[in-house]
A and B are shown apart, each in its own frame.
Chain A
């Protein structure tokens, strides 16, 4: 019984190959978007891991010069011979071809094996690595990029090395950087031996430095990944609606077959098992296709994502993608899960199908008034849940649940809203033709509702994510303008250099604003305390989001402090409250400022008070105010007068331009994902319309017989698609805006502690609206053309037999 049963079930797909294609396409598209986004995320994270493992970021103490300048290599040997466990490092930029390459020269003999990627350690002990011309160990991507580079030692591709970094033997690096006999610092690889004299006795010119902070980058970039993940989930939801539609159709059309099979003795359990097996195979095949497409999408998008992350947060991501087995697993898993989700309703119906139910096929998914009511009830429940979570919920999970409830609720309620709008319109229609048109459109709503829901989700995701990215850009650049009010930022390596710089700058600039800070425990978590000068630069520009009257005067007088938004939200510190600082109990909070991208709590204290509290804080960094047209000249003079490293002087206009470029990249990514989700939605409309077209012949034939030409009927078809798309688009705007609000004000605050003020960008909506209408027209075109060309005899047949 199983074989003929299976045969009967599967033959449906042979008779309706297009349905099969739709089902596969929907599932594959959903999986593709989801796995593509995941792939980008995973790749980016793998890259951070490599970057964090890069030497000097790996949590070891270092020894560096007290006074600025390179160290003599001899110091390394004398420290080793005194029993100090140190390993020398030299570092420098090398301009190879177009990209700068950071050369890190190391001594593989004294560096613990775990401090380099495994393969690098193995390679590093060979004479080819040690002897001239030496070797550069680079990431596989850099290996490709440097394939034709000239004047460099041979390259060796090693997994696990961060992008833009090349490891070489110390001697090789010294030659390449033209710094024979020099090193930059010594990594402390272990405790000194029992007999080693103290550092101050053998090398007073060195100072111990704590390990560089790690993990900041990861926390910052989480923001970006979170948004990408949200996008991926939305895309998958859109895809699921298509799958649900296709599965629902296939099951509905096979009702007769099911009934017959059951009547012939196939028990319900076997029938279900057969159907589940069929779906499983379909899901796996479509999932595999989806993962492949997702990989292609990720490959195309990754260079842009990499550029975005590099610019935004300084996190280096490889521009190349390697296919990880986990994606296959996750992709296939999500496809199966999605199919199960989409098919659960249909399978439930089959399981409860009364054996003697009438075998005649119902019109597909014709929603009865009762079903409509249930749907409205479910939608209302979901929206209430979203509302309650928004009002009382806390935590990231609640934020995401709220997002999900909101979207699904909005999608479920869409057909009801559309039905209401259409019936209202019908009341105003005076002419018989518009009346018929509107009534006919209403009649088709149930069949189209799934596709329209998908469209709604795609559009609102577009609006939501677009609004979020745009708001982020506007806020962030505006904030940069405020925060980076000084024209130049200078960082000295040593106190002596700082003094010299300050004296030199004093006569050449309008103002020098010291930037001094100490690390401090703030309300039980690590944070930082900054001294802030009493200067219009701050009072006029600093971005305060809450403040008391006379806030700057009180801060300058040392009577109150400012805290950043993260700390304020975390500890509920708003103007009027107090906070304990090291050495200053119950410091009054006078204001809160926005501080995007900073994972730490931060407190601003008036500079005078700061100096009293923390006299030992380093004083090596300052902002320089100077007329904007003098900036370039001053930089040149600075470079000539001081031997400053490239990172020591920062020009604020450079930073701003750079962040703008970054956002352009982000837009490329967002736009590409937008187009993809819209295409998926358009596909849903197309398949629904095609399905309906065959069923609607009996309804169209009488209209045709009454004198409407086929061409006019076809135009009506297109007009209907446009009307529905336009109405859906109108509904998508509020949904998208709420979505953006949730992303910006709920999820972002929960995840990162700062809120991004939402701004509206109606011009983008116009563009999106046109795009969705175009998609609808495109989708309606094929069925319309078919209708226009339908032989009249086909329409006549409607009257010849009763179908």
Chain B
């Protein structure tokens, strides 16, 4: 592994391919590289359900990304992450079976105020070890599953050597199309992805810590996104906020760090109304950095969205929510205070 591999591609590894591919100055995890013959996201593509819950193998990368903010019987806050990434090693057609060009990666994490557990799984498609089916809906890698009759009602399970969770997620709310009808622009140069969310899941179930099981309830947020080149070459990472505000409103906002930074946000009313905001409206500013896994990571933020009079501080529930995986990054539950209060999840990639 050469040095540029270590320093450049630190981030969230959407791509197993980039894990093995040649290193280069291509933004984190190789996400900034040319998409070649992969399909490109187009603004006119309409997102349809349930068809778009299924994989899009013509695109290079894709994910099913669930975060949940949970509470135990004693009021203790917990966070859970369940993520499945798909990555095509080359454009279609997929030879299928063992020779498949579809690679899968799963990340699972459980965060308490004191502890953080994280683990990952890798698999090739084509042999039943990992995949996504539509009807009934099931997304899985090894024994980790996100499955139900359909995506509105799913059971989410994952486990590592020292933690586990099994949660029921249910909602009747409509899906939220991010950006422009699900076409989410990621840079001034036009990089984009297809992106929709389900931020309204009610959650109940149990988490398993080394001390034993804890019954929990809470809310969860699903992000679905697929693209072939979501970042431009000079973007080295992102800071991504998904916030559940008290009263039921939701805010999704991200900052892609490059020259210059690129931001976007979506305001989701408790009633399901959606308002996207283009570059420059949303802002996120680090207030405090912590030494996490030998790196300086911002764990306290000033986040604002002036049109909605939002000016809040976002603080990590547990600063040590580091994901020490093939592509290390920070992801964990956060507490929201200020003009609004609430909780949510923060994902930070590309640090150190």
Please pick, from B100, B122, B159, B326, the residue contacting A193 in the complex, using a CB distance under 8 A: B159
Could you say which residues of chain A place their CB within 8 Å of the CB of B99? 130-132, 134, 171
A170–B127 Cα distance when bound, in Å, is 12
Among residues of B, the one whose C-beta sits closest to the C-beta of A111 is B122
Least Cβ distance of B329 to chain A in Å? 18
Query: Shortest CB–CB separation between residue B20 and chain A, in angstroms?
Result: 2
Q: Mark A93-111, 1 if CB is under 8 A from B, else 0.
A: 0000000000000011110
B17 within 8 A of A: yes
Q: A123 contacts B164, CB within 8 Å?
A: no
Interface centre among B128, B142, B208 (most CB of A within 10 A): B142
Instruction: Please tell me if B189 contacts chain A, counting CB pairs below 8 Å.
Output: no
A765 to B95, CA, bound (A): 69
The listed residue (A83, A126, A170, A174) touching B159 by CB distance below 8 A is A83
Q: Is the CB of B142 within 8 A of A194?
A: no
Alpha-carbon distance A271/B128, docked complex (angstroms): 82
Q: Within the assembled complex, what's the spacing in Å between the Cα atoms of A706 and B99?
A: 96
Q: Is the CB of B1 within 8 A of A123?
A: no
Is residue B3 within 8 Å, beta carbon to beta carbon, of the partner chain?
Answer: no
**Cβ of B162 under 8 Å from chain A:** yes
Contacts A83-B142, A107-B124, A194-B164 hold; do A127 and B89 have CB atoms under 8 A apart?
yes
> Are the CB atoms of A125 and B20 closer together than 8 Å?
yes
User: How many residues on the A side are at the interface (Cβ–Cβ under 8 A)?
Assistant: 35
CB–CB A118/B1 < 8 A: yes
Given A107-B124, A122-B20, A124-B20, decide whether A80 and B161 contact each other with a Cβ distance below 8 A: no
Smallest CB-CB separation from B1: which chain A residue? A118
- Looking at the complex, which one of A108, A118, A132, A194 makes contact with B160 (CB distance below 8 Å)? A194
- Known contacts: A77-B127, A81-B129, A81-B142. The answer to whether A125 contacts B103 by CB under 8 A is yes
Number of inter-chain CB pairs below 8 Å: 91
Complex: A127 Cα to B164 Cα, angstroms: 33
Tell me, yes or no, whether A190 is within 8 Å of chain B by CB. yes
> Chain A interface secondary structure, helix, strand, loop or mixed?
loop
Within 8 A of B (CB), among A149-202: 169-171, 174, 190-196
**Any A CB within 8 A of the CB of B190:** no
User: In the complex, which of the residues B21, B101, B123, B159 contacts A109, with contact meaning CB atoms closer than 8 Å?
Assistant: B123
Which of B19, B103, B127, B159 interacts with A195 by CB under 8 Å?
A: B159
Residue B97 lies at the interface, judged by CB distance under 8 Å to chain A? yes
Would you give the shortest CB distance from B60 to chain A, in whole angstroms?
Answer: 12
A516 smallest CB distance to B (angstroms): 37
* Known contacts A82-B143, A131-B99; A109 and B124 CB within 8 A of each other: yes
Chain A residue contacts of B100, Cβ below 8 A = 130
Taking CB as reference atom, which chain B residue is nearest A171? B98
Q: How would residues 536 to 577 of chain A score, 1 for a CB under 8 Å from any chain B CB and 0 otherwise?
A: 000000000000000000000000000000000000000000
A223 interfacial contact with B, CB 8 Å: no
Q: Does B16 contact A (CB under 8 A)?
A: yes
Q: How far is the CB of A114 from chain B (nearest CB, A)?
A: 11
Whether A171 and B164, one on each chain, are in contact in the complex, defined by CB atoms closer than 8 angstroms, is no
| A80-B142, A170-B98 as given contacts; A130 in contact with B20, CB under 8 Å | no
Shortest CB–CB separation between residue A75 and chain B, in angstroms?
A: 12
A435 CB–B CB distance under 8 Å: no
Q: Which of B17, B95, B159, B208 is within 8 Å of A125, CB to CB?
A: B17
Q: Kindly report which residue of chain B lies nearest to residue A181, judged by CB atoms.
A: B98
Report whether B161 and A190 are in contact in the complex, using a CB–CB cutoff of 8 Å. Answer: yes
Closest to A132 in B: B99
Interface check A598, CB cutoff 8 A? no
Q: Which of B149-191 contact A (CB under 8 A)?
A: 157, 159-164
Cα A132 to Cα B89 with chains together (Å): 14
- With A131-B95, A132-B95 as contacts: A109 and B103 at CB distance below 8 Å: yes
B257 within 8 A of A: no
> Is A121 an interface residue, CB under 8 A from the partner?
yes
Q: In the bound complex, do residue B1 and residue A126 qualify as a contact, i.e. CB atoms below 8 Å apart?
A: no
Is B90 located at the chain interface by the 8 A CB criterion? yes
* CB-defined contacts of B103 to chain A, threshold 8 Å: 109, 125
Interface residues of B in 75-132 (CB under 8 A from A): 89-90, 95, 97-101, 103, 122-124, 127-129
Are A194 and B208 neighbours in the complex by a CB distance under 8 Å?
yes
Among candidates B20, B128, B160, B164, residue contacting A126 with C-beta atoms closer than 8 Å: B20
Contact of A125 with B98 at beta-carbon distance under 8 Å, contacts A81-B129, A191-B161, A193-B161 already known:
no
Residue of B nearest to A125 (CB): B20
Q: Which residue of B lies closest to A107 (CB)?
A: B124
Which listed residue, B16, B20, B128, touches A77 by the CB 8 Å rule? Answer: B128
B109 to chain A, nearest CB (A): 14
Contact check, A169 vs B101: say whether CB atoms are below 8 A apart.
no
Q: How far is the CA of A121 from the CA of B129 in the complex (A)?
A: 20
User: In the complex, what residues of A have CB within 8 A of residue B142's CB?
Assistant: 80-81, 83, 193
CB-based contact B122/A195 at 8 Å = no
- CB contact between A196 and one of B16, B123, B143, B157 (< 8 Å): that residue: B143
Check B101–A131 contact: CB distance below 8 A.
Answer: yes
Which of B1, B20, B97, B162 makes the CB contact (< 8 A) with A171? B97
How far does the alpha carbon of A125 sit from the alpha carbon of B124 in the complex, in Å?
10
Could you tell me if A127 and B101 are in contact, using CB atoms closer than 8 angstroms? Answer: yes
Give Cα A122 to B142, complex, Å. Answer: 23
B16 and A109 within 8 A (CB) = yes
Contact with B143, one of A108, A123, A191, A193 (Cβ below 8 angstroms): A193
A130 CB contact (under 8 Å) in B89, B129, B161, B326: B89
A626 to chain B, nearest CB (A): 45
- Which chain B residues lie closer than 8 Å to A170 at the CB level? 98
**A109-B123, A193-B164 known; A122 and B129 CB under 8 Å?**
no
Contacts of B162 in A (CB 8 A): 194
Shortest beta-carbon distance, A310 to chain B, in Å? 31
Return chain B residues, CB-CB under 8 Å to A190: 161
Shortest CB-to-CB span from B74 to chain A, Å, is 22
* CA of A170 to CA of B124, assembled, Å: 12
Cβ of A110 and Cβ of B101 under 8 Å apart? no
Q: Which residues of B contact A130 (CB under 8 A)?
A: 89, 98-101, 124
Q: State whether B127 touches A192 (Cβ < 8 A).
A: no
B122 touches A110 (CB 8 A): yes
When distances are taken between beta carbons in the complex, the residues of chain B under 8 Å from A131 are 95, 99, 101
A 54-96 to B, binary, CB cutoff 8 A, 1 in contact else 0: 0000000000000000000100110011110000000000000
CA of A132 to CA of B157 in the docked complex: distance in angstroms?
A: 35
Q: A108: which B residues are within 8 A, CB to CB?
A: 20
Residue of chain B at shortest CB distance from A196: B143
Please give, as numbers and ranges, the residues of chain B lying within 8 Å of A174 by CB-CB distance: 98
A105's nearest neighbour on chain B, judged by CB, is B98
Closest to B2 in A: A122
Measured CB to CB, the closest approach of chain B to A159, in angstroms, equals 13
5 A–B contact pairs at CB < 8 A? A77-B127, A122-B21, A124-B20, A134-B99, A171-B99
Across the A-B interface, give the 8 residue pairs with the lowest CB-CB distance, nearest first. Answer: A125-B20, A171-B98, A193-B159, A127-B89, A83-B143, A191-B161, A109-B122, A195-B159
Other than the given A82-B143, A109-B122, A193-B160, 19 more pairs (CB < 8 A) read: A73-B127, A77-B127, A80-B142, A81-B142, A107-B124, A109-B103, A121-B20, A125-B17, A130-B101, A130-B124, A170-B98, A171-B99, A174-B98, A193-B143, A193-B164, A195-B143, A195-B159, A195-B208, A196-B143
Q: Which residues of A contact B (CB under 8 A)?
A: 73, 76-77, 80-83, 107-110, 113, 118, 121-127, 130-132, 134, 169-171, 174, 190-196
